[in-house]
Amino acid sequence: MSAFERYLSVWVALAIIAGLAIGQIAPGLVGFLAALEYGSINFVVAILIWFMVYPMMVGVDFSSLARVHERPKGLIITLTVNWLIKPFTMAALGVLFFEYVFAPFIEPGTAGQYIAGMILLGAAPCTAMVFVWSQLTKGDPNYTLVQVSLNDVIMIFAFAPIVALLLGVTDITVPWETLVLSVVLYIVVPLIAGVITRLRLTRNAANPAEGEATVAAFTARVKPFSVVGLLATVVLLFGFQGEVILDRPLVIVMIAIPLLIQSYGIFAMAYWAARAWRVPHKVAAPCAMIGTSNFFELAVAVAIGLFGLNSIAALVTVVGVLVEVPVMLSLVWFANRTRHWFPAEETPIRAPRRKEQS
């Protein structure tokens, strides 16, 4: 790990300060960039996420994807935590804190919207940023892609019923343009770019080992762009929401507390299960982080659609965005320092070689 990556948390802290400062100094510029969106997907942020995701997508070997099912433990942990545990623990924490602990400090009758915002975050596992966290923990790119893709398929069918169940309503309208566009922008487009790059890098290789070495060398060269994309994304996110943070700091803190408990609790649960089940670290770390991270674009879009742009529910989902990056960086740090807890890395899944004819 380079010195730049080693002190990534310092650079992120500086990026947060820079974002808040830009939001105050140049609100017109921030407003212009924030307006470049469709279906609650900001195109500037999408481009920066491409920079973050692209290096890992180059490492995806399609010949190995068909054999991922041979290691089902990571998928089982991810799906169990994301869909059978996380939405319900998030709802429980929302009720605990905003109907009891923080009830004296919030406006009467608003607890339901705080809880709704948390539920929307809890029911939407991460789509894009998990590729960044997986890369920073040296996760298996093939396995991570399968985990995220499977979660996206389930989310299409399960998000609305789970949210409706927990909110106690039946007229949830899923913003399909947000869901579909985010999958296309954050997964399909960078994956296609990664596949094309990989094919060009390996087409003249004398053997598979030489091809893999070429790919590894290329991803090492472009990896700094991934970190720069992360920092620029942090600057933008905090620039977009700087006014909210500075105007309502106590409310932000109250929302952040249960979100922090949820994030660290979900990670601990999935990480412990992976360790107990002896899942290799390159699968365990990403599978724990998918549940910890949230699909905030979808959560924000649904909150705005159900409760309005200036609603407390929308504010909760926005705070989820702000809390996520520092939390995930701390978990990356922890995961990298606990690699020795897990069994030796398995040999990467490869397509079986054809037998040489005599």
Q: Distance between CA atoms of 71 and 170, rounded to whole angstroms?
A: 37
pLDDT value for 347? 44
Mean pLDDT on 246-260 = 89
CATH code, domain carrying 133: 1.20.1530.20
Answer whether residue 158 is part of any domain.
yes
Q: Which domain holds residue 314?
A: 49-234+243-341
Q: Which residue has the higher pLDDT, 296 or 14?
A: 14
Q: Distance between CA atoms of 243 and 324, rounded to whole angstroms?
A: 18
Answer whether residue 56 is part of any domain.
yes
Is 90 exceeded by the pLDDT of residue 263?
A: yes
Strand partners, 294: 125
Answer whether residue 137 is part of any domain.
yes
For the CA atoms of 195, 198, 200, 204, what is the dihedral angle to 10 degrees? Answer: -140
Structure tokens that stand for 57 in this block: 């997508």
Q: Distance between CA atoms of 312 and 308, rounded to whole angstroms?
A: 9
193-233: per-residue pLDDT in tens? 888 998 888 888 878 778 878 888 888 788 777 778 878 87
Answer whether residue 8 is part of any domain.
no
For residue 60, give every residue at least 6 positions away whose Cβ sits within 8 Å of its Cβ, in sequence order, or none.
141, 142, 145, 191, 194, 195, 198
Q: Distance between CA atoms of 164 and 183, rounded to whole angstroms?
A: 22
Mean pLDDT on 39-49 = 79
Q: Which residue has the higher pLDDT, 190 or 92?
A: 92
Strand partners, 42: 37
Contact 294, 126 (CB under 8 A): yes
Answer whether residue 207 is part of any domain.
yes
Name the pLDDT band for 2 (thresholds 50, 70, 90): low
pLDDT value for 5? 62
> How are the residues of the chain apportioned to helix, strand and coil, as percentages rounded to the nearest 5?
80, 0, 20
Structurally, how many domains does the chain consist of? 1
Answer whether residue 358 is part of any domain.
no
125-138: per-residue pLDDT in tens? 877 778 888 888 98
Structure tokens that stand for 77 in this block: 């942990």
Mean pLDDT on 151-179 = 75
**% of the chain beyond a pLDDT of 90:** 22
Name the pLDDT band for 338 (thresholds 50, 70, 90): very high
Read off the pTM.
0.75
At residue 37, φ and ψ (nearest 5 deg) are -145, 165
Q: Distance between CA atoms of 30 and 201, rounded to whole angstroms?
A: 38
Q: Distance between CA atoms of 329 and 102, rounded to whole angstroms?
A: 28
Q: Distance between CA atoms of 323 and 349, rounded to whole angstroms?
A: 35
Answer whether residue 14 is part of any domain.
no
Answer whether residue 60 is part of any domain.
yes
